[in-house]
Amino acid sequence: MRPLTPTRFVEFDPKTLSELEGRAVVQITPEGTLGQAARTANRLTKGAIARLVEAKSFEKTKAGDVISLAWPAGMKVEALDVLVTPRKLTATEARKAGAKLAALGGGKTITVLAGSMVKAADLALGMALRDYRFDAHKSSQDSTVGEIVIAHKSPAETETAFAPMAAVAEGVHMTRDLVNEPANVLTTTEFANRLVEMEALGLEVEVLEEAELAELGMRTLLSVGQGSDSPSKVVVMRWNGGAADAAPLALVGKGVVFDTGGISLKPAGGMEDMTMDMGGAGVVAGTMRALALRKAKANVVGLVGLVENMPSGNATRPGDVVTSMKGGTVEIINTDAEGRLVLCDVMWYAQERFKPAGMIDLATLTGAIIIGLGHENAGVFSNDDGFCNAFLKAAAAEGEGAWRMPLGKAYDDQLKSRIADMKNVGGRPAGSITAAQFLQRFVKDGTPWIHLDIAGVASVKSATDYAPKGATGWGVMALSRMVQDLYEDR
């Protein structure tokens, strides 16, 4: 993966402003009050910032806007970026401001004259998150920011605050790379290899191959991958940063590297988007990376089911009946409802082997969740209010949209099968909820569980606050924070 743009923290000194190269960032308030560096810049430019504030157009300027003055007189920089924000920024305002600055790209150094800004580390995080491109398959690379310099009155403290944030940003970038990667490159084998590479970060990584999965009885998972030439795999990643006897949090991800729908073939239009159907596994991978990089004091195990859903002479047919690892039978009405067939075996295995303190699964599971919640919120389903609220709180703090959805027996009844213990679809009504009900049948009594349907948020067609269009990395920040809130801050 492309490394994060290097970020340096240096002592704040407005006297250096005239000599800086690339771009320089100074702060003014929406009321037009100039910060210390802005006053210096105003003097160097013989009043350019004062004229900007007095101009009629400044009345329309909102907090969070960036006004760029190109080739300012009296300075060496190519552009002076005037950041309009309240004097005291919240963490979210600082992140959004950083993201706006990073979106300017340009391949040069950006020096942010942050002075005594309390949330300067968050501003740097916003820059790191937004300073992302997926250009691995382009012959000419788009430029990101060349180098980020934060000039601050307490550079060492700001740098210390930024270190765990950089770990999380790197996890987000990894998730995005995996989700953006096409399926001929990111095969199940390549995906597993990229996870094994994370052993270098101190994670324990195991790859379970088809023979072992068959031995374990994971027939529903194997039924999804059996039409593909790429072998199905389950990868287990363990981060043991907590007490030796503490039960881990289990993260389980749907990793369908491509979803054609199988014999229940999807229509051609938009099918290329199904390269992102491993988004749940991508978030699990990125979160494990973040936890390892920031050396989280918690035990977390990440499991991903890696399969490809293809039609072929060996593919599962609609009407086939398969037995899950748990032991019940499933009538496969629609081979395009494959995610739940992958997850149910991996979730069962996770609980049998690790007896987790809690389990969170993530999946680009249903188109129906996009109809319900659009691209703003992931669907959240849970059997435990306390556990669920901890996630919702973490997601809100990180600005990752998440909205709780209901579960209930009447929905579960939609899964009754004439010939098997259950069927894999519950019909058109409440498609996301019946998918969650299917999964809940594989959650043991007493395991706090959250299911996150991320079909609408994993990859989007227009840029978000923190990401260019394409993969967002949604969930890595919320999960990393939840791990900290629940298991580290004690």
Question: Which DSSP state fits 317?
Answer: P
Question: Which DSSP state fits 34?
Answer: B
CB of 365 to ligand BES, least distance (A): 6
CA dihedral 37, 39, 41, 43 (to 10 degrees): -150
Q: Which amino acid is at 343?
A: L
Among the residue ranges 84-92, 143-151, 366-374, 475-483, the one whose residues contact ligand BES (CB under 6 A): 366-374
266 is annotated as an active-site residue: yes
Residue 310 binding ligand BES, by CB under 6 A: no
Among the residue ranges 250-258, 368-376, 406-414, 415-423, the one whose residues contact Zn ion (CB under 5 A): 250-258
CB of 162 to Zn ion, least distance (A): 37
C-alpha distances in Å from residue 144, one per residue of 124, 468, 473 = 14, 11, 18
Among the residue ranges 331-339, 344-352, 401-409, 421-429, the one whose residues contact Zn ion (CB under 5 A): 331-339
**Alpha-carbon distance 33 to 35, whole Å?**
7
Q: Which of 339, 372, 468, 470 binds ligand BES (CB under 6 A)?
A: 339
Question: 323 pairs with which residues across the strands?
Answer: 329
Residue 453 binding ligand BES, by CB under 6 A: no
Nearer to ligand BES, 325 or 368 (CB): 368
Q: By three-state DSSP, how is residue 118 classified?
A: coil
Q: Which of 225, 431, 448, 473 binds ligand BES (CB under 6 A)?
A: 431
CB 103 within 8 A of CB 66: no
469 is annotated as an active-site residue: no
CB of 176 to ligand BES, least distance (A): 16
CB 27 within 8 A of CB 83: yes
Phi-psi region of 168 (alpha: psi -120 to 50; beta: other; left: phi over 0): alpha
Nearer to Zn ion, 277 or 400 (CB): 277
Residue 336 binding Mn ion, by CB under 5 A: yes
Nearer to ligand BES, 203 or 368 (CB): 368
**Alpha-carbon distance 209 to 192, whole Å?**
10
C-alpha distances in Å from residue 91, one per residue of 98, 114, 123, 173, 398 = 11, 14, 8, 20, 9
Nearer to Mn ion, 200 or 268 (CB): 268
Residue 259 binding Mn ion, by CB under 5 A: yes
CB 183 within 8 A of CB 287: no
Residue 361 binding ligand BES, by CB under 6 A: no
Among the residue ranges 69-77, 220-228, 273-281, 477-485, the one whose residues contact Zn ion (CB under 5 A): 273-281
Burial category of 408 from C-beta neighbours within 10 Å (exposed 0-12, middle 13-18, buried 19 and up): exposed
Nearer to Zn ion, 177 or 259 (CB): 259
Q: Which residue in the list 340, 423, 441, 481 is annotated as catalytic?
A: 340
User: In the chain, what is the straight-line distance between the N-terminal and C-terminal CA atoms, in Å?
Assistant: 34
Residue 308 binding Zn ion, by CB under 5 A: no
Binding positions for Zn ion, rule: CB under 5 A:
256, 259, 277, 339
Binding positions for Mn ion, rule: CB under 5 A:
259, 336, 338
Instruction: Give me the active site residues, please.
Output: 266, 340
Binding positions for ligand BES, rule: CB under 6 A:
259, 277, 334, 336-339, 364-368, 425, 431, 455
